[in-house]
Amino acid sequence: MTDRRALDPTILREYDIRGVVGETLTTDDVRAIGRAFGSILRDAGGKTAAVGYDGRLSSPDLEAALTEGLVACGIKVFRIGLGPSPMLYFATHKLKADAGLMITGSHNPPDYNGIKMTLQGRPFFGADIQELGRRAAAGDFVKGRGKAKKRKVINHYVKRLIDDYDGFDGLRVAWDPGNGAAGEVLERLVGTLPGEHWVINGDIDGTFPAHHPDPTVEENLTQLKELVAEKRCELGIGFDGDGDRIGVVDAKGRVLWGTSCWSYLPRRSWPNNLAHPSFRTSRRVACFSTRSNASAAGRCNGRPVIRT
């Protein structure tokens, strides 16, 4: 392996690594990222990492390169396979791994891909990612002889989702995973949930033939709205490419944006306003500037905190 790898600075983003495959992000880059991250993990006293990947066509090759880089640092890698990003985070906890790395292009076009990372129970972002880039460029890698082992967690993950469900029994729900990585998990989930469920675009296809994999853009919810109307559903839920963001449609086909969904959470968590009197919320002006967010927190005895 080459000891030094200068990464394109545009892929070193604030919260993840992301670039155009074959242009700003290659398998050699990802292998070096694995070595740099593995070295940081080893320096922090970690020895294990869980690795997953989404349904993009480039993801299996990138996952293999990432695993190779981690193993070269002496890391034991749990390869959980194809699935949504939340399943990777679950696997990190379930397998008691010291880190988690997800190969995913998230809600971006098919030619993009990248890596989301956690380290010892916290997000790996900002200065961490910049340090990873510097370490790769310097070739400052820890050497070791790790190993990789496949570990399937999808059954455990679906069971945990089912165990946590405490909603209504008779809902009619439309689902659109958008040909993304949540497809298989969702199919298993709706087979167990109470109520009636309809799933479209459930086949995992990294070319995203139905629509762009970003449900926070209303035009990508067109098929979901149509399904809600056709089946007379009370609710429609769409997912992005790696299943960690959603778009929600009500029975009338209206989009429930993040602010509306957010304001419901305190009421669901503490419906009688009796618990957690010190509950605090961050109301970022750029994203959560509506009065409903502050009032929702207040109704649950919480205190909204404005951050600019």
Question: Which residues carry out catalysis?
Answer: 106
Rounded to an integer, what distance in angstroms lies between the CA atom of residue 266 and that of residue 302? 9
203 CB contacts (<8 Å, ≥6 apart)? Answer: 179, 183
Rounded to an integer, what distance in angstroms lies between the CA atom of residue 240 and that of residue 4? 34
88 contacts 104 by C-beta, under 8 angstroms: no
CB-side neighbour CA atoms (13 Å) of 37:
36
Residues 65, 93, 168, 155, Cα dihedral to 10°: 60
Backbone angles phi, psi at 8, to 5 degrees: -60, 125
Specify the amino acid at residue 107: H
Measured CA distances, 229 to 201, 202, 272, 287 (Å): 17, 19, 34, 29
Measured CA distances, 284 to 14, 53, 99, 159, 266 (Å): 17, 31, 29, 34, 17
Rounded to an integer, what distance in angstroms lies between the CA atom of residue 211 and that of residue 201? 9
Q: At what angle do helices 291-299 and 258-269 cross, to 10 degrees?
A: 0
